[in-house]
A = this chain, B = another copy of it.
């Protein structure tokens, strides 16, 4: 596909995700990890304006210099930023103004893309595409949180189609011990944290062809798993007790029956769906209670061609660390991945919120161990 068309498609997809929202839904930030949808709309636009139009498109007139202050995220290089917890306090720029901002920047980008960009710019563009796709996924998380924590529990969209997952009635996959290669290969795009394909030594292991289901997870709850410290890390145990966690996020016991909030509103819990919205702490405790463990990210990567994945990001036991030879790019772009490489866990796979074509077997997603609003899940190893 031509760059211009890819740009158009990706930008459209972002707006399509937001189309079922009411204006008010764009504005709020119920917790620090969630960003208001209007912020995502502005921030992804700011990325193209800041890293492509301003440096490379001669004569480009900035839409509004104050927007840099509002839509910068964590890029310390680029200037002062709105403290992250403050995003939900900003009623202006209004949603309409932000859509105008998008249209203005899109128009400039189309003009700019009429001539073939340099290799350097092309690389930035592709990064911008992937950046916006990451925010598409975050938009789903954040919208679900905003609607699912509202006492009225409104439906996001009746037309939302959830990914169906079939249980595979197959034995566990066995991988023999030995030296394997992991990391990105080929010419396609990848993030800097996947680069430097390298060898790792794996011991023999087995990995499940299926993700853990709601029904299986319910057994853990009913076996009192949330109240038995033996299954938990000490930090996880503190987290469970401090936050009085008793079930995955969005689960509600209504008149003795388990329900969960979905994009179609509150629904009876489907026991055959993969469990999701659990923290790493819970994934670990569940595995421990089963007498098993989570796979490492390398075990996952080597076995992945032999199972189905993509319903929800799968917690691994691996800490998010640099691959051998990893180097941050200079400048703001270099802040993309490297500076998060401490105290987070790698998730592998993809989720139903991942934009089509954005998934990759070497993709290293990462989150702190206590977060549950993302679309995540569990696959066991032993």
Residues of A whose CB lies within 8 Å of any CB of B are 22-30, 38, 66, 69-70, 74, 76-77, 82, 86, 88-95, 146-147, 149-152, 154, 177, 179, 198-201, 203, 229-230, 232-237, 280-281, 284, 293, 317-319, 321-322, 324-325, 334, 339-343, 369
Contact = CB atoms under 8 A, between A and B. Distances in A.
B92 A152 contact: yes
Contacts of A233: 339-342
Contact of A28 (B28, B66, B150, B179): B28
B22 A150 contact: no
Contacts of A88: 28, 88-89
B91 A150 contact: yes
A26 B343 CA distance: 34
B24 A27 contact: yes
B23 A146 contact: no
A169 to B, nearest CB: 28
Contacts of A198: 201, 203
A90 B342 contact: no
A27 B91 contact: yes
A318 B339 CA distance: 16
Given A66-B152, A342-B369, A26 B28 contact: no
Contact of A200 (B77, B201, B318): B201
A369 B235 CA distance: 14
A66 B177 CA distance: 52
The 7 closest A-B pairs by CB, nearest first: A319-B319, A30-B89, A24-B91, A201-B201, A25-B91, A203-B324, A234-B339
A62 to B, nearest CB: 15
A200 to B, nearest CB: 5
A93 B100 CA distance: 26
Given A92-B150, A150-B92, A236 B27 contact: no
27 contacts: A22-B91, A23-B23, A23-B24, A23-B94, A23-B95, A24-B38, A27-B27, A27-B28, A28-B28, A28-B88, A30-B86, A69-B151, A74-B234, A76-B229, A76-B237, A89-B150, A91-B146, A93-B152, A198-B203, A199-B203, A203-B324, A232-B339, A234-B339, A235-B342, A281-B342, A284-B342, A319-B319
A32 B334 CA distance: 36
